[in-house]
């Protein structure tokens, strides 16, 4: 069992370490590790018919590992409710609680995922990769340290080809051309 859980943790770490944005597309019941997967992805879109649960609290095997990612998305009080009760929450609740970015009619799920993916992947790939890495790194730091990290990375990346092209395009009122 420990090997299985360690593999699951490796997958969650991998999702957040790859340079590309990862989007969860939820159209059913995301329970336990499925809910953890949604919480771990960078972005998430759920169909109105989707549900989310960490059912261990109502059974005999508490959802310890899923709650790591879930709690970091929804906060302590809501995480405690989800964990202790094991109740299923709706897509609307998941949106309200911050577990997903969008809750859409079932028939619009693919369109919304494609649209969000298109917007989330536009721009410089190198800049996006640095941004994703720094976002997750700073989230685990106290605020003062997070600002130091963000200011350092922002200053360092201000001179990259992508940053220079983005600024030149903005000032020149033109679309940027990305070479990465």
Q: What pLDDT sits at residue 58?
A: 85
The phi, psi pair for 173, rounded to 5°, reads 50, 50
Reported as a single tens digit per residue, the pLDDT across 45-92 is 999 999 999 998 888 888 999 999 999 999 999 999 999 999 999 999
* Among the listed residues 140, 120, 112, 142, the one whose alpha carbon sits nearest the alpha carbon of residue 46: 112
- Both tokens of 134, joined, read 């720094």
Beta bridge partners of 47: 104
pLDDT of residue 10: 96
What pLDDT score was predicted for residue 119? Answer: 96
Residue 151 to residue 42: CA distance in whole angstroms = 22
Question: Helices in 61-177 by DSSP H: which ranges?
Answer: 64-74, 76-85, 91-97, 109-120, 125-139, 143-157, 161-171
Contacts (Cβ under 8 Å, ≥6 apart) of 175: 169
Q: What is the DSSP letter of 108?
A: G
Cβ atoms of 93 and 46 within 8 Å: the answer is no
**For position 60, what pLDDT does the model report?**
83
Using 70 as the pLDDT threshold, list the residues of the chain that sit under it.
none
């Amino acid at each position: 069992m420990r090997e299985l859980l360690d593999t699951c943790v490796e997958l969650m770490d991998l999702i957040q370490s790859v340079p590309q944005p990862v989007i969860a597309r939820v159209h059913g019941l995301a329970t336990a590790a499925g809910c953890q997967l949604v919480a771990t992805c960078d972005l998430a879109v759920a169909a109105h018919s989707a549900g989310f649960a960490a059912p261990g609290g109502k059974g005999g095997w508490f959802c310890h590992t899923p709650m790591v990612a879930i709690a970091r998305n929804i906060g302590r009080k809501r995480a405690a409710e989800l964990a202790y009760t094991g109740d299923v929450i709706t897509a609307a609740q998941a949106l309200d609680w911050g577990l997903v970015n969008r809750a859409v009619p079932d028939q619009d799920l693919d369109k919304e995922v494609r649209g969000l993916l298109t917007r989330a992947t536009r721009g410089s790939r190198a800049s996006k990769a640095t941004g994703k890495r720094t976002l997750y790194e700073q989230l685990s730091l106290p605020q003062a340290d997070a600002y130091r990290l963000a200011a350092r990375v922002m200053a360092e990346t201000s001179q990259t080809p992508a940053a220079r092209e983005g600024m030149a395009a903005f000032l020149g009122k033109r679309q940027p051309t990305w070479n990465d």
